[in-house]
Amino acid sequence: MSNNILEIKDYTLSFLINNKKVKAVDDLNIDIKEGELVALVGESGCGKSLTALSILSLLPSNSSIDCGKINFKNQNLLDLPIDELNNIRGNDISIVFQEPMSALNPLIKVGNQILQTLKSHNKNINNPVEIVKEMLKEVGLSDTNRIFKSYPHQLSGGMRQRVMIAMALINNPLLLIADEPTTALDVTIQAQVLNLIKGMSKKLNTAVLFISHDLALVKNLCDRVYVMYASMIVETSSVDNIINDAKHPYTKALLKSLPTIKQRGTKLHSINGIVPKLENRVENACPFAPRCDFAKQLCFDQKPCLEKVGDSYIRCHFHKEINQ
């Protein structure tokens, strides 16, 4: 029996685009222990949100799972019927989306939306309204009577995101998926939300999969990091190793793009090119090769394997030469 709360094993997800089958998530392996905070980092279009939707079995109808398992508490979620999945969603596994205005129902008061989530998994619970108000307090919202009776548009962006976190945590889930939860927030509120997620995780012993495009955000939040590029994990290690001693050219480039005080007044580094569209990806090659400063012909001819290097895993043909 594994001690991981979540294990994604050899998972590949494809889409049919213009009669061509293309991989949107390729040979994915991720594990998260109970109470652990793990980041999944990469640019838009790399497959991060599809990974989150895969865990909850909320994939688009034109997708197909080619292989792999998604084990939650040693049970493969891909094998479960819909009624069992519904018992897990919002109860054992919850998600916070990046834009609460589109995730919350604009026609229902926020208190009733949280109540629905609570009651859907706890039919005979006592004092449900008080439980919801207490959770609103836990996520840092005062004047809970007013907020309970408010519609989403009557709250600020930061307050709406806290409501979403309250809804996600109301049933004390074992796993919280936070999909870019601070994208639409200003820097001050962003920091508050990150501290809230970390604090609530520690308090409830909830594991967190934190999805982001920004390595700076995960620096003081997460224990481990998976770096994803164009459907594949290219590097994974502890957050300290990633921030201080990244091995993969893509991870190095992401870190180099972060603003620092020393760079004030100078042009920020940018990675040449963009993440290729699904239909334009070459299957038997390193996906980062066209944007990589260290690429050689082998990179365009052969896809690298994920190789263990010390406490890290690297997907790069020439990581030893690059990191000499």
Question: Mean pLDDT over all residues of the chain?
Answer: 91
pLDDT over 70, % of the chain: 97
Digit-coded pLDDT (tens) for 239-280: 999 999 999 999 999 998 887 666 676 777 788 899 999 999
Digit-coded pLDDT (tens) for 272-304: 899 999 999 988 999 999 999 999 999 999 999
pLDDT on residue 302 = 96
CATH dotted code for 4-92+173-322? 3.40.50.300
**At what angle are helices 157-169 and 128-138 packed, to 10 degrees?**
120
Cα torsion for 315, 317, 322, 324, to the nearest 10°?
100
Q: Is 205 exposed, middle or buried (0-12, 13-18, 19+ CB in 10 A)?
A: exposed
Flag the least confident range among 123-127, 219-223, 248-252, 317-321: 123-127
Instruction: Tell whether the model's pLDDT for residue 1 goes beyond 60.
Output: no
Residue type, 41: V
Instruction: Tell whether the model's pLDDT for residue 2 goes beyond 70.
Output: no
pLDDT on residue 303 = 95
pLDDT on residue 261 = 66
Q: Where are the domains positioned within the chain?
A: 4-92+173-322, 101-172
C-alpha 258/C-alpha 305 separation (Å) is 28
Count the Cβ atoms, other than its own, within 10 Å of residue 292.
22
Locate tokens 């919850």: which residue? 94
Digit-coded pLDDT (tens) for 39-89: 999 999 999 999 999 999 999 888 999 999 999 998 999 999 999 999 999
- The pTM (predicted TM-score) of the whole model is 0.93
Provide the pLDDT confidence category of residue 183 given band limits of 50, 70 and 90: confident
Cα torsion for 205, 59, 70, 93, to the nearest 10°?
20
Instruction: Tell whether the model's pLDDT for residue 23 goes beyond 80.
Output: yes
pLDDT on residue 263 = 66
Taking CA atoms, 68 is separated from 7, 11, 34, 54, in Å, by 10, 4, 22, 11
Provide the pLDDT confidence category of residue 128 given band limits of 50, 70 and 90: very high
3-state SS class at 309: strand
Residue type, 29: N
Residue 209 token pair: 């999969």
